[in-house]
């Protein structure tokens, strides 16, 4: 019998962890390194949206739909992920937004996304917490929610349990990878980790060991994006679906349709911070609310209150009620292949040394697509 193959994975975010899942499923023994005591990057700072609705037709939609299947399958095995097939509602506040939602609902792939255009009464039947003002909503049944603060430890628990009795999965936090060689990496303690395959999922750490490859790939344009988020105390009522406002129609490629040019200019506060409202209720009832987009570095080191006021006003206008007290605010940074430069690439994968593969740059679709990206790496 062939001896067991070994994969070394660096980066304990969702991409690294999904690569660990994919590797174990293919029979690899896995050593998983993370520089922090616990992952603290984009994967724990996001909404936990498994977001199919806004994906571009074609390969991006197919990747997201495959990932959605894998999330559902993992969700059934690992309850700690908090996977909920909750769907989403994108709400229109004026005629132009409603017309664009109508166009989206008539797309040839609308059925694959589970799209259905709803009038305000039907919106409230699906999500009774929505007592505010809106002209209609696009239901996307394919969208889902996971709990980002729970996903990584839950998946590691699953991997550790599957590996019982064998040396199947070893989690090594507090190990920063500082050097790369063929089929190996060295951590900051000087220890070498060798594997048949080494996978680097270092998120938005674009310097360090990923630096040389990304600099070479400068043409490919992998950039960093910073977002602001907040979370409230629990709301007493269930918000049955994830929510997005009409500003999201400006950002997601699925809505790059003729009606987009008819959208009125974005309000000043939203325009300055490139805001869109996304709102997800956490398992404990709290509301995760965001987001903004900052592209130019150096990024602000502090958070901007104007953006938060705008997002709060938007959330309250749709819910028709004040949101609970904000308990937490944070910012997060993700790595993204620049859509204007990268063309068709949905993320960046490159062999940086023989047997060492760097995977990053999935952008705002990284939580969604991570299980399918990991599958593609092994394919």
Ligand X SMILES: Cc1cc2nc3c(=O)[nH]c(=O)nc-3n(C[C@H](O)[C@H](O)[C@H](O)COP(=O)(O)OP(=O)(O)OC[C@H]3O[C@@H](n4cnc5c(N)ncnc54)[C@H](O)[C@@H]3O)c2cc1C
| 342 contributes a contact to ligand X by CB under 6 A | no
Strands 49-50 and 88-92: unpaired
Task: Rule CB under 6 A: say whether 46 interacts with ligand X.
Answer: yes
Q: Answer for the pair 49, 243: CB distance below 8 angstroms, yes or no.
A: no
Task: Tell whether residue 362 is a contact of ligand X (CB under 6 A).
Answer: yes
Q: Which of 367, 363, 333 is nearest to 345 (CA)?
A: 363
CB 227 within 8 A of CB 331: yes
Contact criterion met (CB below 8 Å) for 102 and 119? no
* Choice between 136 and 332, CB closer to ligand X: 332
What are the Cα distances from residue 109, in Å, to 249, 250, 255?
17, 19, 12
Shortest distance in whole angstroms from residue 89 CB to ligand X: 15
Q: Which of 33, 63, 100, 275 binds ligand X (CB under 6 A)?
A: 33
Please state the closest distance from residue 121 (CB atom) to ligand X, in A: 29
Q: How far is the CB of 74 from ligand X (least distance, A)?
A: 15
Tell me if 308 contacts ligand X by CB under 6 A: no
Q: Does 70 bind ligand X (CB under 6 A)?
A: no
CB of 19 to ligand X, least distance (A): 9
Q: Assess 209 for contact with ligand X (CB under 6 A).
A: yes
Determine which residue in the list 29, 34, 97, 353 makes contact with ligand X, applying CB under 6 A.
34
Q: Judged by CB under 6 A, does residue 221 bind ligand X?
A: no
365 binds ligand X, rule: CB under 6 A: yes
20 lies in the binding site for ligand X (CB under 6 A): no
Within positions 287 to 306, which residues make up the interface with ligand X, using CB under 6 A? 290-291
User: Which residue has its beta carbon closest to ligand X?
Assistant: 366
Bridging pattern class, strands 348-353 and 356-360: antiparallel
Tell me the C-alpha distance between 162 and 165, whole Å: 9
42 touches ligand X by CB under 6 A: yes
Buried b (16+ CB within 10 A) or exposed e, 245-279: bbbbbbbbebbebebeeebeebeebbeebbbbbbb
Cβ-count burial of 33 within 10 angstroms (0-12 exposed, 13-18 middle, 19+ buried)? buried
71 binding ligand X? (CB under 6 A):
no
Dihedral pair phi/psi, residue 268, rounded to 5°: -60, -50
Q: Which CB sits closer to ligand X, 117 or 147? A: 147
- Helix H or strand E encompassing 336: strand 326-337
| Binding region for ligand X (CB under 6 A) | 10-16, 33-36, 39-43, 45-49, 51, 176-177, 201-205, 208-209, 227, 229, 290-291, 332-334, 360, 362-368
């Amino acid at each position: 019998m062939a001896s067991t193959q070994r994969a070394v994975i660096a980066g304990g975010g969702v991409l690294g962890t999904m690569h660990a899942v994919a590797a174990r499923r293919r029979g690899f023994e896995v050593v998983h390194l993370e520089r922090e005591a616990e992952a603290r990057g984009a994967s724990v700072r996001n909404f936990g949206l498994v977001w199919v609705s806004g994906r571009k037709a074609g390969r991006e939609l197919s990747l997201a739909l495959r990932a959605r299947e894998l999330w559902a399958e993992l969700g059934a095995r690992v309850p700690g992920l908090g996977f909920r097939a909750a769907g989403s509602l994108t709400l229109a506040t004026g005629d132009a937004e409603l017309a664009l939602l109508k166009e989206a609902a008539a797309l040839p792939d609308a059925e694959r996304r589970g799209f259905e255009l709803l009038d305000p009464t039907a919106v409230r039947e699906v999500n009774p917490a929505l007592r505010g003002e809106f002209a209609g909503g696009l239901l996307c049944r394919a969208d889902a929610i996971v709990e980002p603060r729970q996903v990584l430890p839950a998946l590691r628990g699953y991997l550790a349990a599957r590996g019982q009795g064998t040396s199947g999965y070893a989690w090594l936090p507090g190990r920063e990878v500082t050097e790369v060689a063929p089929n190996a990496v060295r951590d900051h303690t000087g220890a070498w980790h060798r594997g048949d395959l080494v996978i680097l999922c270092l998120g938005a750490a674009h310097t360090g060991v990923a630096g040389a490859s990304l600099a070479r790939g400068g043409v490919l344009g992998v950039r960093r994006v910073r977002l602001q988020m907040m979370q409230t105390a629990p709301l007493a009522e269930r918000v049955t679906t994830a929510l997005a406002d009409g500003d999201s129609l400006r950002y997601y490629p699925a809505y790059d349709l003729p009606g987009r040019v008819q959208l009125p200019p974005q309000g000043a506060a939203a325009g300055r911070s490139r805001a869109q409202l996304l709102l997800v209720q956490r398992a404990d009832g709290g509301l995760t609310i965001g987001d903004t987009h900052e592209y130019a570095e150096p990024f602000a080191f502090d958070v901007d209150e104007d953006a938060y006021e705008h997002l709060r006003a938007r959330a309250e206008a749709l819910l028709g009620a004040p949101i609970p007290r904000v308990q937490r605010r944070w910012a997060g940074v993700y790595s993204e292949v620049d859509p204007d430069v990268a063309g068709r690439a949905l993320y960046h994968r490159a062999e940086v040394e023989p047997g060492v593969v760097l995977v990053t740059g999935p952008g705002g679709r990284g939580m969604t697509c991570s299980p399918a990206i990991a599958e593609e790496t092994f394919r």
